[in-house]
Amino acid sequence: MRFEDAKGGEGLFMHAQRDMSTTVKNDQSLTVESGNRTLNILAGNETKTVKQGGLSENICTLRSTDANAVQVKAKAGKSGPGTQRYEASDDITLKVGPGEISMTTTHIVIKFAGSSIQLDAEGVFINAPVINLNK
């Protein structure tokens, strides 16, 4: 552990040659009044576990996530006001049971149990055992 008190370079520096474990018996608070906070994991994983209670994040402007894949398992609840936007340069697929909505740069396809609707630059294509229009 090192303290620096020279004007303009004040700081507290900690280094663990191997493992570092911290236990707090009650509350813990971290406040960054100005500047940034950075967490770098050079190899390995990060795990967050909330055994009781919830996890809240309040983000002022933008949250950005870069990942090869994102997997979410959750029960959806009520949502508040606002907009959710999902953007991808290649494709987005939403899947529930036998239903699927797929969007690419060239077309949008809606599929369910053997029926499908495809929209692309050529037109709208519908494939189903029975097609009802204006019914």
Interval 80-106: pLDDT, tens = 777 777 888 899 999 989 999 999 999
The pLDDT value given to residue 134: 86
pLDDT confidence bin for 21, thresholds 50/70/90 = very high
The pLDDT value given to residue 88: 87
Q: 53 — alpha (psi -120 to 50), left (phi > 0) or beta?
A: left
Rounded distance between C-alpha atoms, residue 109 and residue 120, angstroms: 9
pTM assigned to the model: 0.55
The pLDDT value given to residue 126: 96
CB 113 within 8 A of CB 127: no
CB 55 within 8 A of CB 48: yes
The pLDDT value given to residue 133: 86
Task: Express each pLDDT in 55-69 by its tens digit.
Answer: 888 888 887 887 777
Phi, psi of 118 (to 5 degrees): -120, 130
CA dihedral of residues 117, 120, 122, 127 (deg, nearest 10)? -10
Q: Please count the CA atoms within 13 angstroms of the CA of 130 that sit on its side-chain side.
A: 2
Structure tokens at 31: 């406040």
If you average pLDDT over every residue of the chain, what do you get? Answer: 89
Nearest to 107 by CA among 96, 117, 115, 97: 117
Residue 74 has pLDDT above 80, yes or no: no
